[in-house]
Amino acid sequence: RVVRAAESYAMRGARCVIAINEEVAERARALGARNVVVVPNGIDTDVFEPTGELPSDEERAELGITGPYLIYAGTASEWQGADIFASALEQVRRTHPTAQVLYIGQGSDWQKIAQVASALPPGPDGAPAVVMHGLMDASDAARWQRGAAASLVSIRPGQGYDFAYPTKVLAALACGVPVVYAGVGPVVEDLTAHDLGWVADYTEDDVARAMTRALDEADQTAAQDSSRAHRLHAWVRDHRSLRATGEAVARHLRTVVRGA
């Protein structure tokens, strides 16, 4: 009660409240905020960009990456349900037998992912189906993003986070990599409206189909063709970069100051 009272006091007294999405904006209004504007979060498009270095052959071999891979980079907690990608990989490998999933990060579901991965047989070259690595700094994570066929992002529906917009979506797109998204929420509209990747229901079968489509398209896309990568990066730069979101916040603040 004390915390809620303090939040309500702050909201009622603020000339302007900036929220990262409409759901948060509604909560602010419920606490008494009078002037609420929505400015989504952004990503550093100087670090996450499509033209930087890729993992070397030596780095891939050291990690155990031998074939085309899809990447999950970031926190893996219960509400994200990232284990579904490891579970779906068995179906994916029926048509892409050397495909792998690379998890980079940490989280409360890390051990669960490892258990699912341990049940998957190695590929025809003896490489593991799933490779797991701890946290990396942003520049290294960006290199592994660029080398992936697609980036994997999920939100398990009905856990109270259906409104969330994971930053890992923006990091992948800024690196020029399309996204396979499993779940619901505002990510779905952006991916479908702007052709930024593939959306799947949070089911193993539907996720497997989306992962397969991503690998199919990666096979068909010439390595020299950078047009898609630059298009994906440009969308983030124009709409969801730190610069774009910062400029949006500044515009609202100037309006508030002028109206004071």
Statement to judge: residues 173 and 250 lie in one domain: no
Reply yes or no on whether the pLDDT at 65 is more than 70. Answer: yes
- The string of DSSP codes covering 214-245 is HHHHHHHS-TT--HHHHHHHHHHHHHTBHHHH
225-230 contact pairs (CB < 8 A, 24+) = 226/50, 226/51, 226/176, 228/176, 228/178, 229/50, 229/175, 229/176, 229/177, 230/50, 230/176
More confident residue, 102 or 36: 102
| Domain count for the chain | 2
Q: Is the pLDDT of residue 222 over 70?
A: no
Q: 65 and 22 in one domain?
A: no
Query: Domain of 190?
Result: 57-237
Does residue 140 sit in the same domain as residue 80? yes
Tokens of 171: 């990091």
CA distances from 3 to 7, 10, 55, 96, 174 (A): 6, 11, 47, 52, 37
155 Cβ neighbours under 8 A, 6+ residues apart:
79, 80, 81, 161, 162, 164, 166, 182, 183, 184, 185, 187, 202
151 within a domain of the structure (yes/no): yes
CB-based burial, 15-45: b 16+ in 10 Å, e otherwise: ebbbbbbebbbebbeebebeebbbbbebbeb
pLDDT above 90 (res 180): yes
Contact 14, 7 (CB under 8 A): no
Q: How far apart, in whole angstroms, are the C-alpha atoms of residue 206 and residue 135?
A: 28
Q: Are residues 95 and 224 in the same domain?
A: yes
Same domain, 71 and 194: yes
> pTM (2 decimals)?
0.87
Do 226 and 104 share a structural domain? yes
| pLDDT for res 202 | 98
The per-residue pLDDT for range 88-136, each reduced to its tens digit, is 999 999 999 999 999 999 999 999 999 999 999 999 999 999 999 999 9
What number of CA atoms fall less than 13 Å from residue 4's CA on the CB side?
4
Same domain, 248 and 214: no
Q: Say whether both 246 and 219 belong to one domain.
A: no
For residue 47, tell me if it sits in a domain: no
Q: Given a cut of 80, is residue 252 above it in pLDDT?
A: no
Q: What is the rounded average pLDDT of the residues 42-50?
A: 92
Same domain, 189 and 88: yes
Task: Kindly tell me if the per-residue pLDDT of 224 is higher than 60.
Answer: no
CATH number at residue 64: 3.40.50.2000
Residues 117 and 153 in one domain: yes
User: Does residue 49 belong to any structural domain of this protein?
Assistant: no
- The mean-pLDDT minimum among 34-38, 74-78, 82-86, 151-155 falls in 34-38
